[in-house]
Amino acid sequence: MSLERGIEHTPSPAALPRKLADILRPELGSLANEIVDEIRATIPAYARPLDGPYGKSIRAGVEYAITLFVAQIADPTVSKEQSHEVHHRLGQNEMREGRSLDTLQSAYRVGARVSWRRIMRVGRRSGLSSAVMSQLADAMLAFMDELASVALDGYLEAKARTAGALDTWRRKLLHLVLETPPAPAKAIAELAQLTGWTVPERATPVVLHPVNDTVRPRRHNTVDSDVLAELDCAEPRLLIPGEISGARLTTLQAALPDYRLSIGPCRPLDSVADSLRWARDALHLSERGIIQARRVIRAEEHLATLLVNADSALTCQLRDRLFAPLAEMTGKQQERLLETLRAWLDSQGNVVDIAERLQVHPQTVRYRMRQLQATFGKHLRDPGARFEMELALRAGVAPSAAPAGYALPEVLPVPRKSPQWTPSGS
């Protein structure tokens, strides 16, 4: 629905003899009056007096149209821009005046009919051949279709910017941007132009979650005008142009006090759907306790956790294989050893550091490490096995997916203190 549609696809009447411009030019003034009179006489919606600004815009549209047509015959390279702007505005004005598309298109048909009637008279008087008249008819009809298309774009653009329609189109634009695979950039640009949204190079998606069950979805919101929003759906979401600054975040929290916000990383527009998925996954992990539940969650801060939890069944399989030696132990014993194993991996074997993390005596750590050595043996010395263990320990797993044979906590213990690295072990 771009203004350039007619410019790109409608040819100029380049094949017409240029002397036709000299023949037709003297007719322009009276032809414009005849077209306006015919429109007023045959279309009731235009019957009112045309003395004010509205009437001037109608007359200007007619005069620009026929003048440009003749100018194109004399010089096929003449610019169409000014005439197209006039007809684009004319289409917008028609919508604002409350007339229908049928009325607008009827006016262009009347203009084409009156123009052709005049050309027929001039052609006979000037002795134009039937071949030239046929070319002239084709060029004139194509030209009027072009201008009608430009006016139609203006009409639809104005309609899209009415309050209710604008909201609907902006929601459609949000869906288009978040499509997988990505929608064509041209389609996004055309719909953005229709809604007045400036297409950013990068954007940040936000998934919203009601803070409690009493929050009712609402269609309209008070977020900034450059934000695409959809609130009255199963998964409320926003799309913010660019990065979310501190000021922007404060504004969002104030506008949406009943929601938690899960923010995806800022991404190029053609991959923002991936970021939305990460934000959604981060929210789900926070609901399971794997990520700390906060009013604002930034998926960017939990990429490794998102990665290792991306396939819970595969994570379960990995846990099942790695921690099978614990299956005969009690739940308390499993938890104690896995807690120690996690601390050992995090501190690279420093006993003092492990004791500080677990808030136990170093001798207790040494005792547990002997148990781990007896349980896992050579795997503790294998870098690949240690890497897999750390992945498994950092991943959460849904209760329904817990390996059979032993109870594994939903979230394994994390360090109680920030790690303080010491270069020497004990």
Strands 259-263 and 228-230: unpaired
Give which of 38, 53, 36, 153 is closest to 95, Cα–Cα: 153
Helical packing angle, 383-394 and 312-322, nearest 10°: 130
pLDDT band at 52; cut points 50, 70, 90: low
pLDDT band at 410; cut points 50, 70, 90: very low
Give which of 333, 260, 347, 258 is closest to 298, Cα–Cα: 260
Give which of 56, 67, 59, 64 is closest to 28, Cα–Cα: 67
pTM: 0.56
For residues 34-55, average pLDDT: 80
Q: What pLDDT shows up at residue 418?
A: 34
CATH code reported for the domain at 167-308? 3.30.70
Number of C-alpha atoms within 13 angstroms, CB side, residue 345? 25
Separation between Cα atoms, residue 403 and residue 414, nearest integer Å = 21
Q: Name residues whose C-beta falls within 8 Å of residue 126's C-beta, 6 or more positions apart in sequence.
A: 23
Separation between Cα atoms, residue 293 and residue 285, nearest integer Å = 9
Q: Under a CB-based contact definition with an 8 Å cutoff, are residues 338 and 393 in contact? A: yes
For residues 309-320, average pLDDT: 87
Other residues' Cβ atoms within 10 Å of the Cβ of residue 32: 22
pLDDT band at 164; cut points 50, 70, 90: confident
Helix (H) and strand (E) counts in the chain: 17, 6
Q: What pLDDT shows up at residue 15?
A: 60
Render 188-257 in DSSP notation, one character per residue: HHHHHHHHTPPPPSEEEEEEEEESSTTPPP-S---S-TT-EEE-SSSS-EEEEES---HHHHHHHHHH-T
Separation between Cα atoms, residue 112 and residue 145, nearest integer Å = 9
Q: Where in the chain is the domain with CATH 3.30.70?
A: 167-308
pLDDT in tens, 175-223: 999 999 999 999 999 899 888 899 999 999 999 999 887 776 665 557 8
Q: Under a CB-based contact definition with an 8 Å cutoff, are residues 232 and 218 in contact? A: yes
pLDDT in tens, 250-283: 999 999 999 999 999 999 999 999 999 999 999 9
Q: Name residues whose C-beta falls within 8 Å of residue 53's C-beta, 6 or more positions apart in sequence.
A: none
Question: Residue 11, preceding bond cis, omega within 30 degrees?
Answer: no
Give which of 62, 17, 65, 14 is closest to 36, Cα–Cα: 62
DSSP H helices in 43-100:
53-74, 81-96
pLDDT of 394 above 90 = no
Region of poorest pLDDT, from 73-87, 124-138, 210-224: 210-224
Q: Where in the chain is the domain with CATH 1.10.490?
A: 5-160
Measured between its terminal Cα atoms, the distance across the chain in Å is: 72
How does 148-166 read in b/e, with b if 16+ C-beta sit within 10 Å?
Answer: bbbbbbbbbbbbbbeeeeb
Q: What pLDDT shows up at residue 5?
A: 40
Region of 197 (left: φ > 0; alpha: ψ -120 to 50; beta: rest) is beta
CATH code reported for the domain at 5-160? 1.10.490
CA geometry: angle 285, 311, 288, nearest 5 deg? 20
Helical packing angle, 101-126 and 28-42, nearest 10°: 140
Region of poorest pLDDT, from 175-189, 293-307, 411-425: 411-425
Q: Under a CB-based contact definition with an 8 Å cutoff, are residues 39 and 103 in contact? A: no
